[in-house]
Amino acid sequence: MAESGNDPEVLCLGETMSLVAPAVPVPLERARTFTLSAGGAESNVAIHLAALGHRVGWASRVGDDPLGRRMLAAIAAAGVDTGLVEVRPDAPTGVYFKDPGPAGTKVYYYRAGSAASTMDEDFLVDERLDAPRLLHISGITPALSDGCDRLVRRLLTRERRARITFDVNYRPALWPVEQAGPRLRELAQLADVVFVGLDEAATLWGVETAEDVRKLLDGPDVVVVKDGADAAYALSTETVIVPAPTVQVVEPVGAGDAFAAGYLSGVLRGEDGIRCLRLGHILAAHSLLSTEDHMPLPDPGAVAEWLGCDEERWRNLSFGGGVASKEGE
């Protein structure tokens, strides 16, 4: 299928649920007011990419219920094409809750039998998959059902024009590490670009360094390894390392999706490895400043300045209160 000006640059495919979170970062059982929004790894990436000015679509299934309709409207209002989302009258929209606390955020999922879990290998026809430059999927989808597992395998093994980007996104609540480890490695090996946290790679595969991850995943063109608050690595024929800026973290869930979107935006713009990783860090930092999964982007002029600053200033950037500054200012 030939690409047209209306086709998305990126198609993100995967489950999204209604997200209930305390309006302020307090434990769920003590919260008095809540926010209701759309939460899903792939749609989060889509929303961030749309905010960065890219043509992006999201494909999934939702229930024919108020939560599904509200979610569709919210994602479409963020500038994402939802034309490939199917509404199912026979299955509900999933829901999950964030529970912030001093030891970190816990997440409670209510997704059994969700509309998204009914996706299978017949979900999308090939011509819709061949239009975008990038097809973004994650390791959450194959854990939802046997049909979803077959869908992901089909996406990764069919002859394709779009490059596939795969975020490992291991979720212990969905499947045990003994099952997930070999399966996620198998799927990651078939992708063109892979995102994985060093902590989850250690859990899944027993590795210790970003270089260990690259040795294990030698199939993709690029493996992007996120080492929490320390640094991010892009490993291909060479290794690019960019330290993470300092962030006054409010709540961490969703930051990985923001990072992936920033990095992919850099790829779509033809940026070099350093600027791709920096843009990932910038978006992740702003996600960390809120209990919401997506924060409004900072001023484009400020983003351009941070992307182009020298290494010393980059190392001294500190994000907090919605702004970035040099440490000590």
Give the catalytic positions in this structure.
257
Cα distances (Å, whole numbers) of residue 221 to 194, 212, 256, 277? 8, 16, 20, 16
291: DSSP letter: S
Say whether 8 sits in a helix, a strand or coil. coil
Tokens of 256: 């990985």
What dihedral angle (degrees, nearest 10) is formed by the CA atoms of 37, 39, 45, 51? Answer: 0
Q: What angle do CA 49, 54, 59 make, to 5 degrees?
A: 65
Runs of H (alpha helix) within 64-120: 66-77
Q: What share of the chain is helix, strand, coil (3-state, %, to 5)?
A: 35, 25, 40
Give backbone dihedrals phi and psi of 307, rounded to 5 degrees, phi first. -65, -35
- Alpha-carbon span 209 to 63, nearest angstrom: 41
What dihedral angle (degrees, nearest 10) is formed by the CA atoms of 227, 56, 60, 94? Answer: 60
Q: Are 194 and 204 in contact (CB under 8 A)?
A: no
Say whether 111 sits in a helix, a strand or coil. coil
Nearest Cα residue to 20 out of 131, 94, 121, 103: 94
> What end-to-end distance do the CA atoms of the chain give, in Å?
52
- Alpha-carbon span 70 to 196, nearest angstrom: 31
